[in-house]
Amino acid sequence: MLIPKKVKHRKWHKGRARFRRTATDKIALAFGSCGLKAMSPAWVTSRQIEACRRVLTRYLRRGGKIWIRIFPDRPITRKGSEVPMGSGKGAVEHYVVEVKPGMVLFEIDGVPDDKARQAMKDASYKLPCICSVISKNA
């Protein structure tokens, strides 16, 4: 599970829906020849990233290289069950990353294009956002 070693503020405000705008960074392939690009906004948890990583490594079977371009650094808090109102904000439960439309989430290199596309398609089912497979070749 991915969690940050250190954060500037332990608990964050929820914020408004600013992340629904399109991404300005991480919008092109930088390392691999095939990638998974988000088409809709979402909060992706560290568990979902780990599930995608497991799908990719199992499908590729020691072939190729995988790059994870996102990291969960936003803390999400939750109060315990049956806790009365008041008495402050809840404890940090997990971490997420704000995925904006157009961000490249994962990249693969070193495998045939059709195999990489199928691996990315399988991994996209584990994510809460609509994704598309992109490649340098096409």
Range name among 4-8, 12-16, 118-122 with the lowest pLDDT average: 12-16
Task: Please give the radius of gyration of the chain, using alpha carbons only, rounded to the nearest integer.
Answer: 17
The predicted-structure confidence for 94-126, as pLDDT tens digits, reads as follows 999 999 999 999 999 999 999 999 999 999 999
Domain ranges for the chain = 43-77+90-138
Question: Quick check: 16 pLDDT over 80?
Answer: no
Q: So what's the pLDDT on residue 98?
A: 93
CATH fold for domain 43-77+90-138: Aldehyde Oxidoreductase; domain 3 (3.90.1170)
| pTM of the full structure | 0.91
Residue 8's alpha-carbon distances to 75, 79, 93, in angstroms, are: 11, 21, 17
Categorize the per-residue pLDDT at 18 as very low, low, confident or very high, splitting at 50, 70 and 90: low
Q: So what's the pLDDT on residue 19?
A: 64
